[in-house]
Structure 1
Amino acid sequence: MSILLIASDKGGVGKSTTAVNLAVYLSQSGKRVILFKAGKDKALLNWQEKRQKQGLPVIPVQEAYGNIAEPITKAARLADVVIVDCPGFDNAEYRSALTVADVFITPIKPSSDFEAETLTDVTATVRKAQKMGNTKLRPFVLFTRVKHNRTATAAELAKELKSDDVWLRPLNTRIGELTVYEDCANIGAGVHDVDRASSLGKAKAQIELLANELGLVP
């Protein structure tokens, strides 16, 4: 089993989009996947409802609030991968999930200072969880919504993060700013659920590379 926590100190960074696309791909790869909702918003529940209306395969969504370490651990006994989607701010759900997670990713748009500046506090929170006992935790920064004409900015930030071991390491995989992600999410799908769309091949490759880099697939 593997527990993947997706969290940030800011909303709107692509957490839920990343979560559902990984869930769909892993499910299609034969993994038993549970999406774990740790925020009061209804994004994942709405996505699941739309998915059912489309007749797409069910991906279970569980939810819990406050100290969610035990509910996550219980869910992990029923699945190969549990993907935890936390709200976009520092909260009890996020901090308790860090105590049991195997992998942590914080998505940011590298060209946004508002998002990049969250990394100081996120890094401190993650390092505290590691020092408090979760030595198995592997934390990463995921660059999302990367524009094709702003790759130099992403490269500069990656270089800065790699320059000092105190920072969370940036993943090599980057998620582009592709409308297909939003279009699929709007109908309760992931990019691996559809056969035709603009930039679909690129989007599918990005999700597959991400799953592989995180060690979620062989």
Structure 2
Amino acid sequence: MIVALLNQKGGVGKTTLATHLAGELARQGSRVLLVDADPQGSALDWAEQRNREGLPRLFAMIGLARETLHREVPDLVSGVEHVVIDGPPRVTALVRSAILAAERVLIPVQPSPFDAWASAELLRLLEEARGWKPGLSARFVLNRCIARTRLLADARRELAGVVPPAMAASVGQRVAFARCVSSGRLVFESEPQSTAAREIAALAAELLEPIQPETGR
């Protein structure tokens, strides 16, 4: 499986989800490659912090913020079962390349209708890409959610009838994730019994389910 995390809006938690999904898939025994396709290199920075802390490498990683990504990824998948692409925060030729490289696209959004509306250009690119890749699948992912708030309930209703639909699993706004950024760890390592760790596990499990038609919910 090749999954790309993309959103033209910055600050939605793409890198946090990308590193944690890669780590969770690796924890389950899969061979995983994380491709940092964001010119800011945040995932590579996280990996460097992990290295400074003397922590073991959980998955392979490469920086590949190039518009030829879709042509280069096929040469990288030998020996790995899953590729996770952490994409750039703007709609560029690099985003188009990441879409073409992927089998599934996750669009992290915070629980605000404005975040979903801001993805219009990305959704247009996805529709365009399906001309070349009819099987391409996309899903919204509610991230940085504050539980039991009206804003979260409103966001779920807003996404209930859209195409692509939203993942059933969502991820909360949790201090555990912030601690992981500075320590180079993942939540299943630092707080394995936490709600944050369970949310990532649920998201990974849903991601591995067979692709369903994008008919909305």
Aligned to 2:134: 135
Aligned to 1:79: 80
Aligned to 2:215: none
1:210 aligns with 2:192: no
Change (3 A) 1:48 1:216: farther
Contact kept in structure 1, 2:15 and 2:43, CA below 8 Å: yes
How big is the shift at 1:29? 1.1
SS in 2 for 1:174: coil
* Counterpart Cα distance in 1 of 2:161 and 2:209: 27
Change (3 A) 1:154 1:121: farther
Aligned to 1:194: 190
How big is the shift at 1:76? 1.9
Alignment of 1:96-115 (within 5 A): 96-111=97-112, 113=114, 115=115
* Counterpart Cα distance in 1 of 2:101 and 2:88: 17
The unaligned stretches of length 5 or more in structure 1 are none
Aligned to 2:121: 121
Which letter maps to 2:202?
A: L
How big is the shift at 1:39? 1.9
How big is the shift at 1:53? 2.1
Identity of aligned residues (%): 25
TM-score (norm 2): 0.88
C-alpha offsets along residues 80-110 of structure 1, whole Å, 9 cap, x if unaligned?
A: 1111011111011211121231111010101
1:161 aligns with 2:162: no
Change (3 A) 1:163 1:79: same
Contact kept in structure 2, 1:100 and 1:134, CA below 8 Å: no
Which of 156, 167, 170 is the equivalent residue of 2:166?
170
How big is the shift at 1:34? 0.9
Alignment of 1:20-35 (within 5 A): 20-35=19-34
TM-score (norm 1): 0.88
How big is the shift at 1:70? 1.7
Aligned to 1:61: 61
Change (3 A) 1:112 1:53: farther
How big is the shift at 1:54? 2.1
SS in 2 for 1:173: coil
How big is the shift at 1:142? 0.3
Aligned to 1:5: 4
The unaligned stretches of length 5 or more in structure 2 are 211-217
Alignment of 1:31-50 (within 5 A): 31-50=30-49
How big is the shift at 1:126? 1.0
Task: Please list every run of at least 4 consecutive aligned residues from structure 1 whose deviation after the TM superposition is greater than 4 angstroms.
Answer: none
How big is the shift at 1:149? 4.0
Change (3 A) 1:80 1:99: same
C-alpha offsets along residues 41-97 of structure 1, whole Å, 9 cap, x if unaligned?
A: 131121111111222221322122112102222222231111101111101121112
Contact kept in structure 2, 1:67 and 1:92, CA below 8 Å: no
* Counterpart Cα distance in 1 of 2:154 and 2:145: 13
Aligned to 1:17: 16
